[in-house]
Amino acid sequence: MEIVNANGSSIPALGFGTFRMPGPDTQRMVEHVLRNGYRHIDTAQIYGNEADVGDGILRSGIARADLFLTTKVWVENYSHNAFVASVDESLKKLKTDHVDLLLLHWPNDAVPLAEQIGALNEVAKAGKVRHIGVSNFNRTLMRDAARLSDLPLVNNQVEYHPYLDQSLVMETAASLGMSVTGYYAMADGKVLSEPVLKEIAGRHGKSIAQIVLRWIVQQGLITLSKTVSETRAAENAAIFDFALSQDEMAAIHALAQPKGRIVSPDGLAPVWDEAA
């Protein structure tokens, strides 16, 4: 497993995501993937499955120190007291005394950003969180958040797949010493019928999913794999035994579209950066 280092953090490049995963499947798959090589699990308060993630971790038998665990505070919990209480609740559900990375899930200007960042710093300084970061932040919000934070922000988790150019976010993250985690790598299944990706996959004897995940981690980023299939989970993890050529990387980058973004919920999404 490759590791991405940023602002003092060391994050496994491939994580197992649990978005929209029912409780029983979450528990089963978290236990399975940890027993079979994964060491990075991603969840969130709003997913409603933190307790199942915690159960899966315990059942796996993997030592807590050998696992990187990420969760996210939901926007309704951003005021100081609610924030701290929600983190305590997350830790109880996850059955751990700390998480490795805590993110603000989406921007929310109903609570001052300084208050949100202050709460992130507070729970980190209290030992409840090893590292802090953000999710779905644009470049301006990333810079503002970094400026307001005593502790370094280590990560911005954003939508990223071949149809969406995130170069501006990636450049800003690099300038701040932050890593980037890409979610929705399969573009809600759209990549699976992409001729360019089919050709590259055939050339390497790999699946399209493996090609896309490899494309992301080969850029020095972190990516999340989500599946309820044990077989598919093993396939998704087999992305570190080959490399894409520069031409193949460029061909995948060329698939980006001006309207490629899929996840942009009203009332949550910021004004997105538009790549040139």
Evaluate whether 98 touches 91 at the Cβ level (below 8 Å). yes
With CA atoms as reference, report the closest residue to 156 among 139, 90, 165, 253. 139
From the CA atom positions of the chain, what is the Rg in Å?
A: 18
Q: Work out the mean pLDDT of the chain and round it to a whole number.
A: 97
Beta bridge partners of 12: 3
- Tokens 């995940």, located at residue: 213
pLDDT tens digit sequence for 160-213: 999 999 999 999 999 999 999 999 999 999 999 999 999 999 999 999 999 999
pLDDT score for 1? 84
Residue 157 neighbours by CB under 8 Å, 6+ apart: 42, 70, 72, 103, 133, 134, 135, 136, 180, 181, 182, 183
Has residue 150 got a pLDDT over 70?
Answer: yes
- How would DSSP label each residue in 110-134? TS-HHHHHHHHHHHHHTTSEEEEEE
The CATH code of domain 3-253 reads 3.20.20.100
pLDDT tens digit sequence for 82-93: 999 999 999 999
pLDDT score for 2? 95
Question: Tokens at residue 71, please?
Answer: 């969760």
Give the number of C-alpha atoms closer than 13 A to the C-alpha of residue 245, restricted to the C-beta side. Answer: 7
| Active-site choice (47, 160, 183, 184) | 47
215 — pLDDT class (breaks 50, 70, 90): very high
Residue 105 known to bind ligand: yes
With CA atoms as reference, report the closest residue to 161 among 256, 66, 237, 55. 256
47 is catalytic: yes
Average pLDDT over residues 126-137: 98
pTM: 0.97
Structure letter (DSSP) for residue 152: P
